[in-house]
Structure 1
Amino acid sequence: MLIEAVSMDDSERLVAEVAQAFERGTPLAIRGGNSKALLGRPVEGMPIDTRSHRGVVGYDPTELVITARAGTPLAELNAALDAAGQMLPCEPPAFGAATVGGMVAAGLAGPRRPWSGSVRDFVLGCRVITGHAKHLRFGGEVMKNVAGYDVSRLLAGSFGCLGLITEVSLKVLPKPRASGSLTLDLDAGEALRELSAWRRAALPVSGACHVDGRLHVRLEGGAGSVASARDRIGGDELDPRFWDALREHRLGFFDDPRALWRLSLPNASPLVPLPGDTLLDWAGAQRWLKSDAPAATIRQIAHAAGGHATCFTPHAHAEPFAPLPAALLRFHRQLKQQLDPRGLFNPGRLYAGL
């Protein structure tokens, strides 16, 4: 598919709108592709749209770094990388119309996450408009040690509550030389045991999902290692588009009208009974749950297993994100006060008062 590349620097307009909001004390609701509008608490504020501030502003494939403005469609960024045989290893979901800024602000990663890293791990630097209407640059375009807070990575997963991202530099990697996808008829317990054995054997697994009574596995790496792993695992061939459908929530599992919960658990967590239908991703570390059970019940199960639960569906009786411990909540508030003292950006999107 041909992706039209458009470049436009609209940062002056964005800074001016934030400055006006600062003077008036008007809250702002940041809008990119609006692909994750349902995730998080509703925001009341004047819309500020980043989509006109777009375009890849720097990309040298030999340096494995790409820099793009926040309103750049994620599809456009991926097309530029694909043309050079490279990729964002964390394979963030687009959910239709995601922008680069929204991708970083949400911090969501795809099936490769446990083996490659999170969105935050690939953010090298950014430009951001703070709550003082200052357009600042943090980080850079090389991997290096950072003294103090690495603000550019703090923005990953902040859902726009700390500032308005205008530009991001991301580390990228070459696409694997060989890949293959397999599916096996196993129950969830058998699947987790097999995955544990394959982990100890250092097989080149880069995706592992269990749904509808079957384990789906993706292998990536050198041609020899992928071929050897295929011989060991066996099973049937799997259409590689399965991983795109999983990442973008296009599998039939996600069509269930019940609330969608995401449970994030430690690696190799044992199976625990969940009140609904479950899809295991990230080799079991991420568990999607379709359930009508009370939020307190689901969160108690996740907490007891050493993890937390996020509600991906607007829910009248559930906060989207798991409550923070008092010490961590205090840290969040202090950070918000430093970067956005008047509470302009996406107020309350994550938690009340943030």
Structure 2
Amino acid sequence: MTHEQHIDSLRQQVLAAAAARRPLRIRGGGTKDWYGAAAAAADTLLDMRSLSGIIDYEPTELVITARSGTPLVEIEAALREHNQMLAFEPPHFGAGATLGGVVAAGLSGPRRASSGAVRDFVLGAVLMDGRGEVLNFGGQVMKNVAGYDVSRLLAGSMGTLGVMLQHSIKVLPRPVATATLRFAMSEIDALARLNTWAGQPLPVSASCWHDGVLTVRLEGAAAAVDAAIASFGGERLSADGADAFWTALREHSDPYFKDASQLWRLSVPPAAGALVLDGEQLIEWGGAQRWLKLPAIDSADTTDNALARAARIRASVRAAGGHATLFRQGAAGRAGVPVFEPLAPAIARVHERLQQAFDPAHIFNPGRLF
């Protein structure tokens, strides 16, 4: 089947679903099916894996363009050949991760605080809307009536605005030198140290504090990394040990992320102090991202208890100037707890207008985001 035939097949499925008001579950490799609100079992699957392949990659331009179903490992292998990378360090969460899933989920890895988020690197996109029209955003900038940069707006949209067909992503050279240092210190001391470093021209690209240990990654010019090592002190990890540590953190294969009844993602200002919450915390991004792991919850736990617990977590995080997301849930189920922070009325109206503009029949991943 040619690319044009693939697009026409997708269009026919979209038009049929819109006419019947039948929801479509847009899916790539399925490695992030658990993220966001659960899709209804009755939704019709729209499998994007056949829409695959790198369309254009010119290393000197630092841009790669590929179809949404392209495996993430294929993208990264092509970049590695030219000593380049996706600087936002996207998690795979499984072997089948695709480029479209990376953009739809909008999740970034340990380097996010120093390099930027997924949306910061999305330069262009091709999208099929709920009317079956193929829209191009980016290079030839096309904006909707509200004036949004739609190519970046798609990052984190969970596929609710349309069928993403291809993306153009900015890439960066791999750092010349890298080193990972480890320090024993309390949470309060770690947050103070990270905020002090953030105000200085230091090559800190990633950080993680957990259980009395602060781990910091340095990346950049060899002279800058060597100077930081001499200034920081601490214990230096081997290259293999450092790679294993940051990969496990990115992919949530680190033991911390195992056996949680609930895993909350807390987004707060980096300068926020320690959050006093029940559960075990892990801190990334210089203090801006904090994970909260709740212990096993009794199977008799009620929905009212779960909602009250979630309300306490969200209230504490809001008081610190941030918001909380129920990132993962154990076998006990979500018990009716909203995954994402409820939107303010004005922001909710913006979401409604966007959905009406792109998906008037409300067929794309309904309920997955809000």
Is there any run of 5+ residues in structure 1 with no aligned partner, and where? 1-6
Partner of 1:302: 317
- Deviation for aligned residue 1:195: 1.4
Partner of 1:4: none
Give the partner amino acid of 2:51.
H
Partner of 2:266: 263
Partner of 2:248: 245
- Deviation for aligned residue 1:319: 0.6
- Conserved in 2, the CA contact under 8 Å of 1:266 and 1:307? yes
* Distance in 2 of aligned mates of 1:345 and 1:102: 14
- Conserved in 1, the CA contact under 8 Å of 2:26 and 2:163? yes
* Distance in 2 of aligned mates of 1:82 and 1:183: 27
Secondary structure at the counterpart of residue 218 of structure 1: strand
- Conserved in 2, the CA contact under 8 Å of 1:126 and 1:137? yes
* Distance in 2 of aligned mates of 1:313 and 1:199: 30
Q: Deviations over 1:123-154 (max 9, x none)?
A: 00001110111111111289xxxx92111111
Give the partner amino acid of 1:333.
E
* Distance in 2 of aligned mates of 1:132 and 1:126: 17
Aligned pairs for 1:159-308 (under 5 A) are 159-238=158-237, 239-241=241-243, 242-291=245-294, 294-308=309-323
Q: What is the number of residues matched between the two proteins? A: 341
Q: Deviations over 1:70-128 (max 9, x none)?
A: 00111111111111100111111110121100100110001111111110000000011
Q: Return 47-56 or 34-43, whichever deviates more.
A: 34-43
* Distance in 2 of aligned mates of 1:197 and 1:138: 40
Give the partner amino acid of 1:281.
E
Partner of 2:31: 35
Aligned pairs for 1:34-183 (under 5 A) are 34-44=30-40, 45-96=43-94, 97-140=96-139, 148-183=147-182
Q: Give the structure-2-normalised TM-score.
A: 0.89
Note if 1:11 corresponds to 2:26.
no
Across the aligned residues of Structure 1 and Structure 2, the Cα RMSD in angstroms comes to 1.6
Partner of 2:345: 326
- Deviation for aligned residue 1:337: 0.4
* Distance in 2 of aligned mates of 1:200 and 1:333: 39
- Deviation for aligned residue 1:212: 2.0
* Distance in 2 of aligned mates of 1:16 and 1:271: 52
- Deviation for aligned residue 1:41: 1.1
* Distance in 2 of aligned mates of 1:187 and 1:256: 24
- Deviation for aligned residue 1:240: 1.9
- Conserved in 1, the CA contact under 8 Å of 2:91 and 2:108? yes
Partner of 1:350: 369
* Distance in 2 of aligned mates of 1:299 and 1:112: 25
- Deviation for aligned residue 1:13: 2.0
Secondary structure at the counterpart of residue 328 of structure 2: coil
- Percent identity at matched positions? 50
Secondary structure at the counterpart of residue 289 of structure 1: strand
* Distance in 2 of aligned mates of 1:8 and 1:312: 35
Change (3 A) 1:141 1:245: farther
- Conserved in 2, the CA contact under 8 Å of 1:85 and 1:174? yes
* Distance in 2 of aligned mates of 1:237 and 1:83: 28
* Distance in 2 of aligned mates of 1:178 and 1:311: 36
- Deviation for aligned residue 1:36: 1.1
- Deviation for aligned residue 1:256: 2.8
* Distance in 1 of aligned mates of 2:71 and 2:125: 17
- Deviation for aligned residue 1:200: 2.4
- Conserved in 2, the CA contact under 8 Å of 1:141 and 1:170? no
* Distance in 1 of aligned mates of 2:249 and 2:115: 17
- Deviation for aligned residue 1:311: 0.4
Change (3 A) 1:141 1:219: farther
* Distance in 2 of aligned mates of 1:150 and 1:194: 36
Q: Deviations over 1:270-298 (max 9, x none)?
A: 11212100000101110000115711111
Secondary structure at the counterpart of residue 229 of structure 1: helix
Give the partner amino acid of 2:123.
L
Note if 1:21 corresponds to 2:20.
no
* Distance in 1 of aligned mates of 2:198 and 2:44: 49
- Conserved in 2, the CA contact under 8 Å of 1:8 and 1:55? no
Q: Return 237-246 or 333-342, whichever deviates more.
A: 237-246
Is there any run of 5+ residues in structure 2 with no aligned partner, and where? 298-305
* Distance in 2 of aligned mates of 1:120 and 1:251: 26
Moved over 4 A (4+): none
- Deviation for aligned residue 1:209: 0.4
Q: Return 56-65 or 239-248, whichever deviates more.
A: 239-248
Secondary structure at the counterpart of residue 108 of structure 1: coil
Q: Deviations over 1:241-275 (max 9, x none)?
A: 21111010011100133200000001221112121
Give the partner amino acid of 1:128.
L
